[in-house]
């Protein structure tokens, strides 16, 4: 029981592969300025098969709650394509403006509603980029608030390139991004016109990042969204619901990473993460998860992780450990086992309290001994635990988990 690393086996079918492509954007010196994050439906997909709400939602959910933004772009900016729904506020962005550039696609009609929405996003601190700028589509209405204008040097209308650049130079805050540079001639053109930033196959092709993620329950997310939009939202019920869905809990924990970054106290329970994020942010993330349609696992397949978490909660007092912290440890290790992810990685990827991180690394603490006792029972070795009938307790946990499945499915 000393080795707390999850078994290195193929992930169970409760998981699915998710993919995000990132293409570097370079400055004039060849240094990486930022990355454009691109939807990919499969590992071998060369170009995005979608540029709709689902694609944008999946990119955001994957980058911020699956990989983690530091893993994807480090301290650089990330450029993300936006659909009309995000720009006008029909779908709220749950991510802050610190590292994000919102790309207004050339296919979006710039009417008064979009103009007002993009202006509000700019005033909130988001940087705005105009993608594949073309005269005559009305995107020049956004020049006064845009930070970047992207020029397609492969298929764009080069007959008006000089005019476009001249007009953009009237706005000192605009940086020009020469994109789709596929030949040395394109690179030379970007240099000749003084484009501050460059992007394209001649410099670097998109690199696809892939990871296993735990499939989330659509029913559970819909239930959560309904609860979050109730007249009097009950934070305890929200926490309880999130705790019953390992996939949701993991995403809430990862989403709280940036919010917890500057705090002296790190997370030691799911309810703490819920309070830290707040109802508004959790509501936004829940809506985005539904829009992303990242689903697929049956509830029964998640029972084992839930039972372990609940069993850790039940045994925690015997080891003088906070039950909520033990529950989170059981949940995290259950998810790690399902996804084939080393437990030590969870300790570094989430804003966890020192005792939780230490237990994930196998520090021999009372918290880790709770987990050892539960795992011993799972493996058929009955540990000695005072005053707890492990067999009946485990059956209680199993009944609890199965009831959750039944309640949500009904």
Segment among 30-39, 95-104, 328-337 with least mean pLDDT:
328-337
Residue 11: pLDDT band (50, 70, 90) is very low
Render 267-280 in DSSP notation, one character per residue: B-SHHHHHHHHHHH
Measure Cα distances from 31 to 71, 192, 332, 367 in Å. 18, 19, 37, 45
pLDDT reported for residue 21: 85
* % pLDDT > 70, the chain: 69
Instruction: Give dist(CA 4, CA 212) in Å, integer.
Output: 20
Segment among 118-122, 209-213, 268-272, 345-349 with least mean pLDDT:
209-213
State the architecture of 15-210 in CATH terms: Alpha-Beta Barrel (3.20)
Mean pLDDT of the chain: 77
* % pLDDT > 90, the chain: 31
| 244-262 confidence digits (pLDDT tens) | 677 777 777 777 765 555 5
User: Are the beta carbons of 153 and 186 closer than 8 angstroms?
Assistant: yes
pLDDT reported for residue 5: 32
pLDDT reported for residue 116: 95
Whether the predicted pLDDT of 290 surpasses 50: yes
| 78-111 confidence digits (pLDDT tens) | 999 888 878 987 667 777 888 899 999 888 999 9
Give the residue-averaged pLDDT of 134-142. Answer: 92
Beta bridge mates, 216: 295
Whether the predicted pLDDT of 230 surpasses 60: no
Residue closest to 73 by CA, chosen among 54, 95, 53: 95
| 180-202 confidence digits (pLDDT tens) | 999 999 999 999 999 999 999 99
Segment among 123-132, 224-233, 329-338 with least mean pLDDT:
224-233
Measure Cα distances from 353 to 327, 347, 356 in Å. 14, 9, 5
Segment among 20-29, 228-237, 323-332, 398-407 with least mean pLDDT:
398-407
């Amino acid at each position: 029981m000393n080795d707390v690393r999850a078994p290195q086996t193929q992930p169970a079918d409760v998981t699915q592969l998710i993919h995000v492509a990132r293409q570097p954007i370079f400055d004039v010196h060849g240094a990486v300025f930022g990355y454009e994050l691109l939807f990919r439906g499969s590992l071998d997909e060369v170009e995005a098969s979608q540029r709709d709400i689902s694609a944008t939602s999946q990119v955001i959910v994957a980058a911020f709650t699956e990989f983690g933004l530091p893993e994807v772009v480090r301290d650089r900016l990330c450029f993300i394509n936006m659909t009309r729904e995000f720009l006008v506020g029909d779908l709220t962005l749950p991510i802050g403006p610190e590292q994000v550039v919102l790309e207004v696609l050339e296919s979006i009609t710039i009417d008064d509603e979009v103009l007002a929405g993009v202006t509000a996003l700019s005033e909130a601190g988001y940087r705005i980029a105009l993608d594949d700028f073309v005269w005559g589509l009305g995107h020049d209405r956004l020049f006064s608030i845009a930070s970047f204008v992207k020029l397609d040097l492969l298929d764009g209308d080069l007959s008006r390139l000089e005019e476009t650049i001249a007009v953009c130079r009237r706005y000192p805050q605009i940086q020009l991004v020469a994109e789709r540079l596929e030949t040395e001639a394109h690179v030379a053109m970007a240099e000749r016109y003084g484009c501050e930033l460059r992007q394209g196959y001649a410099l670097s092709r998109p690199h696809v990042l892939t990871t296993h993620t735990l499939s989330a329950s659509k029913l559970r997310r819909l239930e959560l969204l309904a609860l979050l939009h109730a007249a009097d939202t009950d934070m305890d019920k929200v926490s309880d619901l999130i705790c019953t869905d390992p996939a949701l809990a993991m995403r809430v924990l990862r989403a709280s990473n940036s919010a917890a970054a500057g705090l002296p106290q790190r997370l030691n329970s799911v309810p703490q993460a819920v309070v830290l994020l707040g109802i508004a942010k959790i509501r936004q993330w829940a809506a985005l998860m539904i829009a992303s349609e990242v689903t697929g696992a049956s509830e029964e397949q998640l029972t084992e992780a839930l039972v372990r978490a609940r069993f850790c909660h039940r045994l925690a007092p015997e080891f003088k450990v906070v039950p909520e912290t033990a529950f989170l440890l059981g949940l995290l290790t259950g998810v790690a086992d399902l996804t084939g992810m080393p437990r030590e990685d969870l300790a570094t990827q989430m804003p966890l309290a020192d005792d939780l991180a230490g237990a994930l690394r196998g520090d021999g603490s009372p918290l880790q001994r709770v987990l050892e006792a539960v795992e011993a029972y799972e493996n058929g070795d009955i540990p000695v635990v005072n005053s707890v009938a492990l067999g009946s307790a485990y059956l209680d946990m199993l009944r609890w988990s199965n009831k959750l499945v039944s309640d949500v499915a009904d």
